[in-house]
Chain A
């Protein structure tokens, strides 16, 4: 349902040759799937997401959502950033931040929006923090607010740009599991960008490995691990270890190429 076809993105620096961030990227994401994109840092993963989210126009190629070309931010698709401290509105309480996810839509009264926002705040485990400001919360909690704000809109597709990249290891584990639970209960489609190979394998049904700049998909990996996943048993599963090893080798080879 989300299809990326031969996407290319060039940037023209102030002087010199254009930089090709995305060479020719193609892949598909089926409805309800959890798909990861893994690649060496600086390979253009964020650029890719911005193009899919309609925030940046590709130089060539197309992004299709339900067969319709994406030319601007599409309804039903939300991009969630790593920098929760910048993406949340510091002047709004947690409740009003989450409500923001619904405000720009017709047909809901403020009371209904607040009720819905409260429900999602509870879902992400922040009940009791509705009146707090984001900057009063820890990093992990702030990212939970951002996730609630995105999910309250019931997006069909949620793009996540290294959402847990700046969190400490334990908080990260906690949020990975929280995200999986939410995804399973809400049946959204998630496209998750990360440079953490284990994270990609642990979370996904499928992972696409990107090459160095100019990025293109070098391999598609099906992750055949049962759900619900478990931080201990899943990560000890031989198939997990094998998938991790395979992706690691691919990326090391890429990085060696420079």
Chain B
């Protein structure tokens, strides 16, 4: 970990340099006086919207939508992925549909979702669910299919039947794959919550950024982006922490095999 810390210090150094250049560019109008404000102005706006609590409400709403969509996606996709990975019939009948739906870029289903679900939370949660489901589904399926037959036979000789077999053997054996899917989906959830909030919404961080731009509160627009950057960073770090704990066995195992 020591070399990681070393690189992190130089990373912070470079970030500071960028902020300084940004400050100068904003201050002296190198790019655009109005649309590219100095970093200090953005930071001031950031602290102001955080302190006033204005942005926190929007973040909360976004997190709720993203969390709900993500959670539902995990539930549906892991279940389906296990079924498709384990039962050939399920795989053969669903594979084409999954591959086709997966190929649709998620924003393209927003118009359809609006037609059926309106522009409220339902539509947003659905969009997030839809787009998060596929990476989880595909990874779960791959994970289940890669479970060694010897392991399954061993479990069966110990008397495990389908339910217990899936729960106690197949699912944990496939869990490293599932975690990969969940991690990819986490980033997607954040992207899609912002996109969906830019299409007909009155709350959420996506709306906040768009609204700031429309009302020419440019520093606030950038501050909203900063909020998103910090949010995404925190979520990813949190996920990695959980992953490191739950998947410690897998990291040890793969380190051995290398």
Interface residues of A (CB under 8 A from B): 50, 53, 55, 73, 75, 77-79, 81, 83, 86-87, 89-92, 100-101, 103-105, 133, 135-136, 153
Contact = CB atoms under 8 A, between A and B. Distances in A.
B164 A133 contact: no
B159 A75 contact: yes
B249 A55 contact: no
Contacts of A73: 156-159
B150 interface: yes
Interface of B: 148, 150-151, 153-154, 156-160, 164, 168-169, 172-173, 175, 249-250, 252-253, 256-257
Q: Which of A77, A83, A135 has the most CB of B within 10 A?
A: A135
Shortest Cβ-Cβ A-B pairs, 10 listed? A86-B150, A87-B154, A79-B157, A86-B148, A91-B249, A135-B253, A104-B159, A91-B172, A90-B253, A83-B150
A55 B252 contact: no
Contacts of A101: 158
A217 B141 CA distance: 42
A102 to B, nearest CB: 9
Contacts of A81: 150, 153-154
Q: Which of B154, B156, B256 has the most CB of A within 10 A?
A: B154
A78 B158 contact: yes
Contacts of B164: 104
B150 A89 contact: no
Contacts of B150: 81, 83, 86-87
Contact of A91 (B154, B173, B256): B173
Contacts of B175: 91
22 contacts: A53-B153, A53-B157, A77-B157, A79-B153, A81-B154, A86-B150, A87-B150, A87-B151, A89-B169, A89-B172, A89-B173, A90-B173, A91-B250, A100-B158, A100-B168, A103-B168, A104-B158, A104-B159, A104-B164, A133-B249, A133-B252, A153-B158
